[in-house]
C-alpha cells in the first residue's frame, strides 16, 4: 500500500469513528433529555392530581360546614316543640299559650331561629338597645355592622365578657326562645344535658341548627326563668326584661290560647 493511501484510510477511519461517536453521544444525551422531560411531566401530573384532590377535600369540608350551620325553619318544627313542651310539664293551656306565644314573637312569627343583628338605622339601634346607645348618633357606627353591634350591645350582659371578648356575637339570640348571653346558654345546657353542661356554651350554633336541641333549651328557659304558672305579663317580662314588643307578645299569647281552648273543646266532644 502506498504511503499516501495508508494515511488517507486512517484519516477516513478516524473521521468515521468520530462521526459515529458523535452520533452515539448525541443519542445518549437525547435519551437523557427525554427521560428528564418524562419525569418532569409525571411530577406535573402528580401535582395536578394532588391539587385536584385537595380542592375536592376543601369543597367537601365547606359543604359539610354549610350543612351543619344550616338554620332550620321554626314553623316546620312547631308540632315537635309543642309535644316536647307538654312532655316536660308545660301542659296547661295558660302555660302552653305563654310559651308558644313568646316563641312566635321571638322567632318573628316562626320564620327564624337566630337573632338578626343587622340594623339599618341608628334610630332603630338606639330604641332597641337603650342602655348601650343613649342617642342615635352613638349608634351610627354600628349600622349594618352586626358583629360589632352584638359585641357592644351584649357586652357584660348575662355572663358575657367585655366587648373585645366577642361573647356578644357568640352568644346572641338563638333558638325557639332566642336564648341570649353566656350565662343563659350555660343554664339551659346544664338542665338539658347534665352529663355535658357546657354543650351550648361550646357549640352555641346548636340552638339554631338542631331543632331538638333548640326545643330543649327553650323549654329549659321557660321552666327555669319564666316558671310554670306565670301570668302572660310575667311571661313577657321574664322572656324580655327590656319590655320590647309587649303588645305583640300579648296578642300572640291571646291568639294561641284561643286556639288551644278550641282544640281542647273539640277533643272533649
Whether the pLDDT of residue 4 is over 60: the answer is no
Whether the pLDDT of residue 178 is over 70: the answer is yes
Parse the chain into domains and list their residue ranges: 1-68, 74-268
Whether the pLDDT of residue 2 is over 50: the answer is no
pLDDT digits (tens, 9 = 90+) for 44-77: 788 777 766 665 555 544 444 444 569 999 999 9
pLDDT (0 to 100) of residue 179? 98
10-14, 80-84, 103-107: least confidently modelled range: 10-14
pLDDT (0 to 100) of residue 66? 47
Mean pLDDT of the chain: 86
Whether the pLDDT of residue 7 is over 50: the answer is no
Percent of the chain with pLDDT over 90: 71
pLDDT (0 to 100) of residue 56? 56
pLDDT digits (tens, 9 = 90+) for 188-243: 999 999 999 999 999 999 999 999 999 999 999 999 999 999 999 999 999 999 89
Beta bridge partners of 114: 174
Whether the pLDDT of residue 111 is over 60: the answer is yes
Mean pLDDT of 123-135: 96
Contacts of residue 133, defined as CB under 8 A and 6 or more positions apart, other chains included, come to 122, 125, 126, 139, 142, 152, 153
Whether the pLDDT of residue 96 is over 50: the answer is yes
pTM (2 d.p.): 0.74
Whether the pLDDT of residue 266 is over 70: the answer is yes
pLDDT (0 to 100) of residue 11? 47
30-34, 37-41, 152-156, 259-263: least confidently modelled range: 30-34
Beta bridge partners of 179: 174
pLDDT (0 to 100) of residue 229? 97
pLDDT (0 to 100) of residue 261? 95
Confidence of residue 15 (pLDDT cuts 50, 70, 90): very low
pLDDT (0 to 100) of residue 49? 73
CATH second-level architecture of 74-268? Answer: Orthogonal Bundle (1.10)
Amino acid at each position: 500500500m502506498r504511503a499516501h493511501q495508508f494515511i488517507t484510510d486512517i484519516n477516513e477511519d478516524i473521521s468515521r469513528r468520530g462521526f459515529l461517536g458523535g452520533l452515539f453521544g448525541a443519542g445518549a444525551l437525547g435519551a437523557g433529555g427525554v427521560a428528564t422531560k418524562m419525569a418532569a411531566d409525571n411530577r406535573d401530573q402528580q401535582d395536578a392530581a394532588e391539587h385536584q384532590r385537595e380542592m375536592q377535600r376543601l369543597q367537601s369540608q365547606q359543604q359539610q360546614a354549610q350543612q351543619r350551620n344550616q338554620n332550620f325553619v321554626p314553623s316546620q318544627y312547631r308540632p315537635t316543640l309543642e309535644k316536647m313542651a307538654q312532655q316536660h310539664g308545660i301542659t296547661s293551656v295558660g302555660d302552653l299559650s305563654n310559651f308558644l306565644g313568646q316563641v312566635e314573637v321571638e322567632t318573628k312569627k316562626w320564620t327564624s331561629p337566630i337573632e338578626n343583628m343587622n340594623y339599618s338605622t341608628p334610630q332603630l339601634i338606639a330604641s332597641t338597645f337603650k342602655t348601650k346607645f343613649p342617642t342615635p348618633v352613638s349608634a351610627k357606627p354600628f349600622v349594618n355592622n352586626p358583629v360589632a353591634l352584638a359585641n357592644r350591645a351584649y357586652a357584660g350582659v348575662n355572663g358575657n365578657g367585655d366587648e373585645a371578648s366577642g361573647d356578644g356575637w357568640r352568644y346572641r339570640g338563638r333558638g325557639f326562645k332566642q336564648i341570649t348571653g353566656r350565662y343563659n346558654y350555660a343554664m339551659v345546657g346544664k338542665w338539658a344535658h347534665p352529663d355535658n353542661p357546657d354543650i351550648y356554651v361550646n357549640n352555641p350554633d346548636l340552638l339554631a341548627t338542631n331543632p331538638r336541641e333548640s326545643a330543649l333549651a327553650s323549654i329549659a328557659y321557660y321552666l327555669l326563668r319564666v316558671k310554670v304558672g306565670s301570668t302572660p305579663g310575667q311571661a313577657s317580662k321574664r322572656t324580655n326584661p327590656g319590655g320590647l314588643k309587649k303588645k305583640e307578645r300579648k296578642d300572640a299569647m291571646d291568639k294561641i290560647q284561643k286556639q288551644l281552648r278550641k282544640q281542647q273543646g273539640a277533643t272533649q266532644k
